[in-house]
Structure 1
Amino acid sequence: MGDSPFQLDFDDLPRVLPLFPLSGVLMLPRGELPLNVFEPRYLNMVLDSLGEERMVGILQPARSAADPIADDARLLSTGCAGRITAFQETSDRRLLVTLTGVCRFRLGQEVDSGGGYRRAVVDYSDYKADMIDDGRVQAVDRQSLLRALKTYGAARSMQVEWNSLDGVDDEVLVHQLAMGLPFAPNDKQALLEAPDLIERGRILTALLDMAALQGDDESDDAGTRH
């Protein structure tokens, strides 16, 4: 195990994951993804996961689709495993869940779950480096990223506490922006599949530049509704 009793080592990652397909939603290692779970199949999935490793695989359908995503929808081959680190029941039978990203994976053969949701064998071997918190090791071009963010924010009248970003390390900054901003599903996938933090920062900067030129046409449809 890792330094914390809740921290997984690479060899402890489960080889079979329940799958939560979500269009336009991105989870990255150590990023926190809030989910509002109400579909019966995914309520079953969360409850089953709480009794096991608390791990769920987030990935996108191959074609963008509104909820609910069909049971037989083809899925993209790269996703990210997350651990349920918080959950709350509501009076109207929903679960408010927080997933914390752990490690990306390649999708393998699907297996029967018996709970109405999808499960699959996954392969983490290409992404062992995800288990290393390298925000202070891999330095992104922070100056270019913040310049692009300021231009993007001005185009959308965003209120940003710029001073609050000074003490945020590169990985946290890049991952929070990548996960939280309303980029298109294919752009979210490009951010997920970036080989390292430096390249993810470059992609994010380019997306911010392009979005600023397009104006305020995008809507925040990457909300956590499921």
Structure 2
Amino acid sequence: MINATDLPDTIPVFPLPGALMLPRTRLPLHIFEPRYLAMIEDCMKTKHRLIGMIQPRDTPQSDKRATGTRPAEKRLQAIGCAGRLTGFSETEDGRYMVTLSGASRFRVKEEVQGFTPYRRVIVEWSPFERDLGPSEDDKGFKRAPFMDLLSRYFTAMNLSTDWDGLSEAEPELLINSLSMLCPFSHEDKQALLEAPSLDTRRETLVTLIEFALRGGADAEVMQ
């Protein structure tokens, strides 16, 4: 567990399109690029062992003086989620298989210029103080109709899952895991990340699923 007083002002970030991590979830990562191998090695030397998962925006950053980012790199979203490095193994060819445990979301204040091959940002944690607290409850969650909707969505998308596990999962684990795993767009993933509460995230998730069932980008989905 991480306390608010343990959260650093500056963290390394791993910009990865479509990757979503939420508090109290786990995200496995396969690390092979040299700059991110260096990031993992540096992270393991810190007390907090935090890495920020964040999505890049579609547009490149054009003004280095104004932003402190490398000109060729894409701008970062304003909000990401930091995870604590809790699992690590190394393959014979030097790749790292790691697990991040979601700790807290953060807001990017500015990007740090420096000599590290990976990107670092100065962050603000205070808007997400309850991320460090106990699991959230969703008093408006109705499992039966939700699972029925989910079943129709998985059938339409030709997805498979452990239905027994989903049926028994607590609301927070269920909603957050589906938010991470369902094949939504980058923008939709960001909306799920930024949802201020579990019930809001569930409502957003339901809206996205219903949109997909109505056709979404593929009109043939609707039966």
TM-score, L = length of structure 1: 0.84
Identify the match of residue 43 of structure 2 among 24, 36, 49. 49
The question of 1:59 aligning with 2:47 is answered no
Q: Name the SS of the counterpart of 2:74 in structure 1.
A: coil
Stretches of 4+ moved more than 6 A in 1? none
Give the Cα separation in 1 of the matches to 2:158 and 2:178. Answer: 16
Q: What is the one-letter code of the residue matched to 1:197?
A: L
Contact 2:24 2:101 in 1 (8 A): yes
Q: What is the one-letter code of the residue matched to 2:40?
A: V
Q: Report which structure shows greater RCO (CA 8 Å, sep ≥6).
A: 1
Contact 2:137 2:198 in 1 (8 A): no
State the Cα deviation string for residues 40-92 of structure 1 (Å, max 9, x = none). Answer: 11110011001112100111111189xxx986311110000111110110112
Contact 1:16 1:121 in 2 (8 A): yes
Give the Cα separation in 2 of the matches to 1:20 and 1:164. Answer: 30
How many residue pairs match? The answer is 208
Contact 1:138 1:197 in 2 (8 A): no
Q: What is the one-letter code of the residue matched to 1:101?
A: G
State the Cα deviation string for residues 11-48 of structure 1 (Å, max 9, x = none). Answer: 21111100111111101001111111111111100110
> Superposed, which structure 2 residues align to 1:118-197 within 5 Å?
118-136=119-137, 138-197=139-198
Give the Cα separation in 2 of the matches to 1:158 and 1:42. Answer: 31
Q: Name the SS of the counterpart of 2:57 in structure 1.
A: coil
Give the Cα separation in 2 of the matches to 1:208 and 1:70. Answer: 37
Look at both structures and tell me which one has the larger radius of gyration over its CA atoms: 2
The question of 1:34 aligning with 2:28 is answered yes
- In structure 1, the residue matched to 2:8 is 14
Give the Cα separation in 1 of the matches to 2:152 and 2:109. Answer: 41
Distance apart, 1:196 and its partner CA: 0.2
Q: What is the one-letter code of the residue matched to 2:79?
A: T
- In structure 1, the residue matched to 2:65 is none
Give the Cα separation in 2 of the matches to 1:82 and 1:37. Answer: 15
Distance apart, 1:138 and its partner CA: 4.8
- In structure 1, the residue matched to 2:109 is 108
| Percent identity of equivalent pairs | 40
The question of 1:78 aligning with 2:79 is answered yes
More deviation in 136-145 or 50-59? 136-145
TM-score, L = length of structure 2: 0.85
Give the Cα separation in 1 of the matches to 2:188 and 2:170. Answer: 23
More deviation in 113-122 or 143-152? 143-152
Q: What is the one-letter code of the residue matched to 1:130?
A: D
Structure 2 vs 1, CA of residues 161 and 19 (structure 1 numbering), >3 Å: closer, same or farther? closer
Q: What is the one-letter code of the residue matched to 1:194?
A: A
Give the Cα separation in 2 of the matches to 1:14 and 1:70. Answer: 26
Q: Name the SS of the counterpart of 1:152 in structure 2.
A: helix
Q: What is the one-letter code of the residue matched to 1:114?
A: F
Please list every run of 5 or more consecutive structure 1 residues that lacks an aligned counterpart in the other structure.
1-6, 218-226
Contact 2:12 2:118 in 1 (8 A): yes
Give the Cα separation in 2 of the matches to 1:46 and 1:214. Answer: 41
Contact 2:90 2:96 in 1 (8 A): yes
Contact 1:83 1:99 in 2 (8 A): yes
Please list every run of 5 or more consecutive structure 2 residues that lacks an aligned counterpart in the other structure.
61-69, 219-223
The question of 1:207 aligning with 2:202 is answered no
Structure 2 vs 1, CA of residues 138 and 57 (structure 1 numbering), >3 Å: closer, same or farther? farther
Q: What is the one-letter code of the residue matched to 1:33?
A: L
Contact 1:156 1:216 in 2 (8 A): no
